[in-house]
Amino acid sequence: MDMTWRELLGTILMDPQEQQRIQDALSVNAMTLRRWITGETNPRPQNLRLLLNALPQYRKQMIDLLAKEFPPAGTTNVLKEEEIFQISADFYGCVISSYVNVSRHLRSSTISNLILQQMLRHLDAGRAGMLVSVAQCVPPSVGQVVRSLRIVAGRGSAPWGNNIESHPQFLGIESMVGYVVSSGHMTAVQNQAEILRNFPGDYIDGLESAVAVPIVLANRIVGGLYVASAEASYFSSSLIICIQKYAELLCLSFDENEYYLFRDVALGVMPAREKQFPSLLTFQQRVTQQIMLAAHQKHTTTRIEAEKIIWQQLEKELFAITTASSSHPPVSILAP
């Protein structure tokens, strides 16, 4: 006799740590799970969605077993992956509320962190390992085009750290995010070999698949959203569509003057992250010196203005490193 979905769930819950994780993900107690396993009660549609989302490695098997017990008319929509990867109306409301109520100078960090934290909870409920980050166009000097991106926000779960933005990095056309910002189109790589072939500079230990989506408002672009997984072939079409919806929400975290026409974006090649670190470590000291210099010259400079000047200086210095290097490998973009 074939195993039922209840028996499969019971087997999974024999691991106390796994049981606690699922209880947390579904916001239910141990008794509720026990009643589902014994058949005393049935999970509500919302709990079924959360259960499937919390068990990505068992998703297909669980869907097949659930379909055997429940009438198709009552569960077809519940079991569809499209339903699992839907952003809730409550979360849309939460983002809009933050946009309306948070002061302008805190709006960007508040909304971006809110969205990235929700993405981890929603898209990696099974804790396979995920990294999400936002890279923004570095403001160019007057009359110039955008030449690079900079990671401005990020979150991650094991095997990666939580605060990605604490490790700043410039990105160019050699990166996956740089590619989608330049092209204006989403791209995905589903295995390590693809990543190493097309975007070798993006690789970090444990990375198995990734998606990058441009953040676009009408015909202007501000940067890109990058999502990586520790699991190969993790990004289904339904999941990618959901990521694109999160990218749309991220538009609210940027001011209108931070967007650029596509024709004003011409990304260059940035050096590898390890070659950037020595320069990036000087950032805070240089910002302080810039503010002091302005004060000495009887000018008023805000910290934001000083940071913009230093980021532009660092960008120029890093491009000089790339130019000086005669041995960096050619960039391979989406090799066949």
Question: Per-domain residue ranges for the chain?
Answer: 5-84, 89-264, 273-324
Overall fold of domain 89-264: Beta-Lactamase (3.30.450)
Residue 187 has pLDDT above 80, yes or no: yes
Residue 328 has pLDDT above 60, yes or no: no
pLDDT band for position 63 (50/70/90)? confident
Q: Which residues is 225 bridged to in the sheet?
A: 134, 213
pLDDT the model gives residue 57: 85
Cα separation, 291 vs 310, whole angstroms = 11
* Strand blocks (E) in the chain: 130-137, 149-156, 170-171, 187-189, 209-217, 220-229, 260-261
Cα separation, 297 vs 295, whole angstroms = 5
Cα separation, 133 vs 274, whole angstroms = 18
pLDDT band for position 116 (50/70/90)? very high
pLDDT band for position 83 (50/70/90)? low
pTM of the model: 0.75
Contact assessment for residue 54 and residue 25, using Cβ atoms and an 8 Å cutoff: yes
187: left (phi over 0), alpha (psi -120 to 50) or beta: beta
pLDDT band for position 76 (50/70/90)? low
Summarize pLDDT for 36-52 with one digit per residue, the tens.
Answer: 999 888 887 667 877 88
Specify the residue for token string 């974006």.
Answer: 265
Residue 298 has pLDDT above 90, yes or no: no
pLDDT the model gives residue 64: 82
Higher per-residue confidence, 102 vs 65: 102
Tell me the average pLDDT of the chain. 87
Tell me the percentage of the chain whose pLDDT exceeds 90.
58
Asked which of 3-12, 121-130, 148-157, 267-276 is least confident by mean pLDDT, the reply is 121-130
Summarize pLDDT for 151-169 with one digit per residue, the tens.
Answer: 999 999 878 876 565 568 9
Asked which of 89-93, 170-174, 260-264 is least confident by mean pLDDT, the reply is 89-93
pLDDT the model gives residue 268: 96
Which of 73-77, 81-85, 104-108 holds the top average pLDDT?
104-108
Cα separation, 43 vs 49, whole angstroms = 10
Residue from 8, 127, 122 nearest 64 by CA: 8
